[in-house]
Amino acid sequence: DAGITQSPRHKVTETGTPVTLRCHQTENHRYMYWYRQDPGHGLRLIHYSYGVKDTDKGEVSDGYSVSRSKTEDFLLTLESATSSQTSVYFCAISIGGVTDTQYFGPGTRLTVL
Amino acid sequence: GDSVTQMEGPVTLSEEAFLTINCTYTATGYPSLFWYVQYPGEGLQLLLKATKADDKGSNKGFEATYRKETTSFHLEKGSVQVSDSAVYFCALSDLTGNQFYFGTGTSLTVIP
């Protein structure tokens, strides 16, 4: 158990509203990731972080921003949610680097109406 | 670029049947290979991994062998159970590209 929690677990929001998802880990691991999971696409990397205030873009970063002001928290923000951002969002951590085994949180199901 | 291709599902098997889920990869370097499992409503869990050619990863009766000559990492289990019903993801990590790649997932349903 990598001690990863995500909040909220479910959220329904309207188009155009801002949304922030939180990922919290208890082990102070350096590397954290945000993915989205959609049918037919598997998991796609949105953003990742390799330390406090150190973040980088992934494959599908448009429309998303992240922040990491503390080691244990990695926030994903949708500045103005769109229906195409309806998805299940997973946070993950790794211990040894970007290519090390990744451990996942339970996910957040987001619906944008 | 690097990629992972796994067999499309869904796969439906009877309990105690033999399971194979195919996974092939493309990589420029020397990747590590992984299988993850996702049970309904949960996040992905690491099932097994292999870090170099000819390594065999195994866990909970599942096995996969890293075959460099065929660029494959097929998942096998000799006798599946209803509790194995889940979505299985093949993945690779590549030190050269400093990236982690997932396949699209294969849904498995095991019926009693």
Task: Please write the tens of the pLDDT for every residue from A47-87.
Answer: 999 999 999 999 899 999 999 999 999 999 999 999 999 99
Distance CA B85, CA B37 (A): 10
Mean pLDDT calculated for residue range B49-70? 96
**Cβ–Cβ contact A101 with B under 8 A:** yes
Predicted pLDDT at A111: 97
Predicted pLDDT at A42: 85
**Cβ–Cβ contact A45 with B under 8 A:** yes
Inter-chain residue contact A99 with B32, CB threshold 8 Å: yes
Q: Which residue has the tokens 């790794």?
A: A94
Predicted pLDDT at B20: 97
Predicted pLDDT at B96: 66
**Which chain B residue has its CA at the smallest distance from A33's CA?**
B100
3-state secondary structure of A106: coil
Task: Place B1 in a pLDDT band, splitting at 50, 70 and 90.
Answer: confident
Neighbour-count burial for A44-57, b at 16+ CB within 10 Å, e otherwise: bbbbbbeeeeebee
- Express each pLDDT in B12-23 by its tens digit: 999 999 999 999
- Express each pLDDT in A92-107 by its tens digit: 999 888 778 899 999 9
Predicted pLDDT at B105: 93
Mutate to test the interface with A, among B44, B47, B88, B90 (most CBs of A within 10 A): B44
Of chain A residues 81-100, which have a CB less than 8 A from chain B?
Answer: 90, 92, 98-100
**Cβ–Cβ contact B99 with A under 8 A:** yes
Predicted pLDDT at A31: 92
Tokens of residue B42, six digits: 């949960």
In contact, A10 and A19? CB cutoff 8 Å = no
- Express each pLDDT in B61-112 by its tens digit: 999 999 999 999 999 999 999 999 999 999 999 876 667 889 999 999 999 9
Residues of B in contact with A106 (CB under 8 A): 42-43
* Mean pLDDT estimate for chain A: 93
Give B31 to chain A, closest Cα distance, Å: 9
Among candidates A99, A102, A106 on the partner chain, residue whose Cβ is nearest the Cβ of B42: A106
pLDDT over 70 (residue B57)? yes
Among candidates B34, B99, B102 on the partner chain, residue whose Cβ is nearest the Cβ of A101: B34
B62-65 and B106-111 strand pairing = unpaired
Residues of B in contact with A40 (CB under 8 A): 104
Task: Place A2 in a pLDDT band, splitting at 50, 70 and 90.
Answer: low
Mean pLDDT calculated for residue range B1-8? 88
Q: Which residue has the tokens 């969002």?
A: A89
Give A26 to chain B, closest Cα distance, Å: 17
pLDDT over 60 (residue A1)? no
Residues of B in contact with A93 (CB under 8 A): none
Distance CA A94, CA B31 (A): 16
Predicted pLDDT at B79: 96
Neighbour-count burial for B25-64, b at 16+ CB within 10 Å, e otherwise: bebeeebbbbbbbbeeeebbebbbbbeeeeeebeeeebbb
Predicted pLDDT at A97: 81
